[in-house]
Amino acid sequence: MEAQNYLDIKGRVLNIQRFCGEDGPGTRTTVFLKGCSYRCKWCSNPESIKPQPELDFNRKACKGAAACGICLKGPFPPGAFYVLDGDDDKVHANWDLANACTEELAELCPTGAIGMFGKEMTAGEVLTEVLKDESMYRNTGGGVTISGGECLLQPDFTAAILRGAQESGIHTAIETAGNVPWEFMEKVLKYVDLMQHDNKLMNPDPERHKKWIGVTNKRSLENFKKAYETFPDVEFIARTPLIPGINADEGHIRAVLDFIKPYKNVIDYELLPYHRYGLGKYAYLGKVYELQDYQSPSPELLEHLRSIIDEAFGRKAEAKA
C-alpha cells in the first residue's frame, strides 16, 4: 500500500449514497462495495453479493423490440435477450446467457434498461465524492461509512478511502459481518473510528448459521473479539437484522449481549427490523427471493427486544420503533 500513492488503489464500488442517516452518527455518505462473504437468505442488497460488476436488467425501461431491438442482435450474445409472442414486445433477459454481457455492451442500450451493477473506481475518486459533503459532516457530526456487500473483502481499497477521510478530519465508519481473514480486518481498523458489525445468528448450533447464511459464524466471532481487544480506541456497535422465525427472539438478543457486554468499547447493540424492500432488485438480477412469506417483526416485539438491550446498557427502557 505504501509503495504506490494509496489513493490510486482500485476497488469495485456498487454505489455511493449521500445524505444517509442510518449508517453511523450524523448525516453521512455511505459507500457500498461489491462482493460479500455471506449469503444471507434475507439479503436486501443482492446486487452487492457478486464481487464483479454484473448485469442489471430493468424491463420497465425497455422501449420494446419494434422501437429499439438493439439487444436482439450482435454484438449481444445470441439468445441473451428475447421477445415473447403477443402484444407486449418489451424484451426479456435469458439470465444464463445474458450474464456474459460486458459493461461496453450494456452501454449500447439507449434506454438504460440494460445496465451494470458496480464499477471500478480508485480510492481517490471515491474520496472526491465523499469530500463534497465535508461541511455537512461537520455540521451534523457525520462522516463516511464503507458498507457492502462486505467492505473488508477489499481491505486495501477500504483502508485507503478511510485513511484519506481521516486525514481530512472526517469521521470514519464501516459496516461488516466480519467473515474475512483477520489480517483484512486489522488492516482496515487502523483507519476506523466506528465499526458496526452484524451478529446475525448467535445459535449454539453452527449448522443453523450455515443454513441461513451459507457459512458458520466461528471466524466472525473470533474476529470481533480480537478487534475489541486489539483496537481499544475504536468504538463498536453490534447489530442484528431481526427476522421473525429465525432470530427475533429473546434468547438470541441475550446471547449477543452476553458476547459483547464484557467489552467497554462496544457502545451499543442495534436491531434492524426485517424488511422486503430489496425484493424488486432480485427481479433485476434474475434471482429468486426465498423469503417471500416472511414478515417484519411487530412493533410490540421490537419494543420488547429493544427494552432488553436498553436494560443491559443501563438506559431507561423506551420504545424506539
Partner 1 sequence: MKTIKKIAIAIGAGYTPGINSIIMGAAISAHKAGWEVVGIRDGFEGLLFPEKYPNKGLIDLGPEVISKLNPMSSDAMGTAASMDPFNVRTINELEMIEEVDMSDTLLENIKKENIDGVIAIMMGRGLSILHKLNAKGLKSVCIPRTVENDMAATPVAFGFNTALSFCIEMLDRAKQAAVSAKKIGVVEVPGSQAGWLALQSGIAALADAVISPEFPCDVNDLAQNLKSRITPDKPHALVVVAEGSSFVNLPGRTEDTLSDLRKALSPSATEEDSEFTINKSGQAAKTLSYALQQLLADEVYPLVLGPWVRGGNTTAVDRQLGLAYGAASAKALEQSKFGTMATFVPPHIDFVPLIDALNKVRRVDKDHGFIKVAQALGIYTGV
Binding site for partner 1 (CB under 8 A): 14-15, 17, 20-23, 30, 32, 37-39, 44-45, 47, 50-51, 58-60, 79, 82, 84-86, 92, 94-97, 153, 179-181, 214-215, 219, 272-273, 275-284, 288-289, 292-293
Give the three-state DSSP class for 237.
strand
Are 32 and 43 in contact, with CB atoms under 8 Å apart?
A: no
Q: Name the amino acid, one letter, at 92.
A: H
Question: 85: which residues sit within 8 A by CB, 6+ positions away?
Answer: none
Minimum distance of partner 1 from residue 73's CB (angstroms): 14
Q: Cell triple for residue 250?
A: 429473546
Residue with C-alpha cell 451478529?
A: 199
Minimum distance of partner 1 from residue 277's CB (angstroms): 4
Q: How far apart are CA 172 and CA 127, in angstroms?
A: 12
Q: Which is nearer to partner 1, 75 or 280 (CB)?
A: 280
Q: Are strands 171-176 and 143-147 parallel, antiparallel or unpaired?
A: parallel
Q: Which is nearer to partner 1, 215 or 221 (CB)?
A: 215
Q: Which is nearer to partner 1, 263 or 294 (CB)?
A: 294
The CB density around residue 213, as the number of other CB atoms within 10 Å, is 23
Are 147 and 14 in contact, with CB atoms under 8 Å apart?
A: no
- 3-state SS, 192-205, equals CCEEEEECCCCCCC
Q: How far apart are CA 299 and CA 120, in angstroms?
A: 41
Q: How far apart are CA 182 and CA 296, in angstroms?
A: 33
Minimum distance of partner 1 from residue 254's CB (angstroms): 25
Minimum distance of partner 1 from residue 164's CB (angstroms): 21
First and final CA of the chain: distance in angstroms?
A: 43
Q: Which is nearer to partner 1, 234 or 305 (CB)?
A: 305
Q: Which is nearer to partner 1, 43 or 266 (CB)?
A: 43
Q: Which is nearer to partner 1, 23 or 125 (CB)?
A: 23
Q: Which is nearer to partner 1, 142 or 234 (CB)?
A: 142
Q: How far apart are CA 215 and CA 119, in angstroms?
A: 27
Q: Which is nearer to partner 1, 168 or 295 (CB)?
A: 295
| Omega prior to 244 cis, within 30 of 0 | no
Minimum distance of partner 1 from residue 93's CB (angstroms): 10
Minimum distance of partner 1 from residue 166's CB (angstroms): 23
Minimum distance of partner 1 from residue 195's CB (angstroms): 18
Minimum distance of partner 1 from residue 143's CB (angstroms): 16
